[in-house]
Amino acid sequence: MSTVKPIIIKDLTKKYGDFTAIRELSFAVEAGEVFGFLGPNGAGKTTTIRILTGLSRPTSGICKIFGQTIRDKIYQHIGVVFEENNLYQRLSGKENLDFFARMYRVKEERVDLLLERYGLAEAASRPVKNYSKGMKRRLLICRALLHEPDLLILDEPTSGLDPRSAEVIREAIKDFKRAGKTVFLTTHYLEEADELCDRVAFISRGKIAAIDKPGVLKRKYGQPFLEIRIESPVEKEEMKLKGILSAEDRIYRDSNTLTIRLSLDTQDAGRKLDKIRENFNVLDIHSQEASLKEVFKQLTGD
């Protein structure tokens, strides 16, 4: 299993009538990496996940998981956490896991182990409808990990969670990667993608806009900048400051200070910095790398 690429997608297209949800999508996910699949709402992320998990058929193109087409029996090797909390609400947490354990022919001890590991042992006999959102998400992770899959497919796993619960999920992803396994992740939280992903793909209007390591994409598409904090100038001086800066630069006002975000993408950045130093009382200067958020804006226009 490990020598074969966990996911290979080639020229994948999905149409719903006249609407094309994804268009000739091609990419591969390497074994052992956390792969981020990012894009705005309606970009085609969920459609891709539905095809990946065999819930939907592509109009054309190839989609292989561990070298097998989706309709083959690949389910023992994938664990899926959907965007929705799709649990049996009237059953208890343990009953939910027991049911899927029987589906995968997994021993009951594994259920108890996961419930314990994700802090759900005490609530195991309570109906899921009484669980908090964080508990439901943790239970979904338990369900996805029940049969010890080689590939974890996660659709917005931390969406709407409190920081503590989100951290538990992020740790689970890191643990999974540490075990040499592969994660396919979609998320709206670009900081999270930056923290977790080895590579990310940006999808926009059903097409891959860019795919690479987060650092490479930030250098390629983002604008590095200097953050200069100065003492708040009087009105006349502020007019002078605006004369120094150009359209791509930004000013953020605080109570007693002004923060200038000076773009390093232009050739006269050095000249501008000198002028600011000459005319204003500079408190501190930081150089900043572009964030994935900026790459996202640049690539998707959102």
Q: What does the binding site for other proteins look like in residue numbers (CB under 8 A)?
A: 53-57, 73, 75-76, 78, 80, 82, 84, 86-91, 95, 99-100, 102-105, 127, 143
Where do we find the tokens 């232009």?
Answer: 266
Strand order in the sheet with 225-231: 250-253, 257-263, 225-231, 282-288
- Report the greatest alpha carbon distance in the chain: 75
Please give the angle made by the CA atoms of 182, 158 and 104, to the nearest 5 degrees.
Answer: 50
Q: How far is the CB of 60 from other proteins (least distance, A)?
A: 14
| Interatomic CA distance for residues 252 and 11, integer angstroms | 45
Q: Between residues 83 and 112, which has the closer beta carbon with respect to other proteins?
A: 83
Q: How far is the CB of 42 from other proteins (least distance, A)?
A: 18
- Measured from the Cβ of residue 237, the count of other Cβ atoms closer than 10 Å reads 15
Write a three-state SS string for 221-273. Answer: HCCCEEEEEEECCCHHHHHHHHHHCCCCCEEEECCCEEEEEEECCCCCHHHHH
Q: Between residues 25 and 153, which has the closer beta carbon with respect to other proteins?
A: 153
Q: How far is the CB of 108 from other proteins (least distance, A)?
A: 13
Backbone angles phi, psi at 116, to 5 degrees: -65, -50
Q: How far is the CB of 90 from other proteins (least distance, A)?
A: 4
For 140, 158, 159, 290, the CA distances from 84, given in Å and listed in that order, are 10, 11, 10, 32
Q: Between residues 27 and 88, which has the closer beta carbon with respect to other proteins?
A: 88
Q: How far is the CB of 230 from other proteins (least distance, A)?
A: 53
Q: Between residues 28 and 103, which has the closer beta carbon with respect to other proteins?
A: 103
Q: How far is the CB of 153 from other proteins (least distance, A)?
A: 9
Q: Between residues 7 and 269, which has the closer beta carbon with respect to other proteins?
A: 7
Which positions ≥6 away from 37 have C-beta within 8 Å?
45, 48, 49, 184, 185, 186, 200, 201, 203
The b-or-e profile of 139-160 (16+ CB within 10 A means b, else e) is bbbbbbbbbebbbbbbbbbbee
Q: Between residues 144 and 299, which has the closer beta carbon with respect to other proteins?
A: 144
Q: Between residues 27 and 75, which has the closer beta carbon with respect to other proteins?
A: 75
Q: How far is the CB of 269 from other proteins (least distance, A)?
A: 50
Q: Between residues 54 and 222, which has the closer beta carbon with respect to other proteins?
A: 54
Q: How far is the CB of 88 from other proteins (least distance, A)?
A: 6
Residue 117's SS3 state is helix
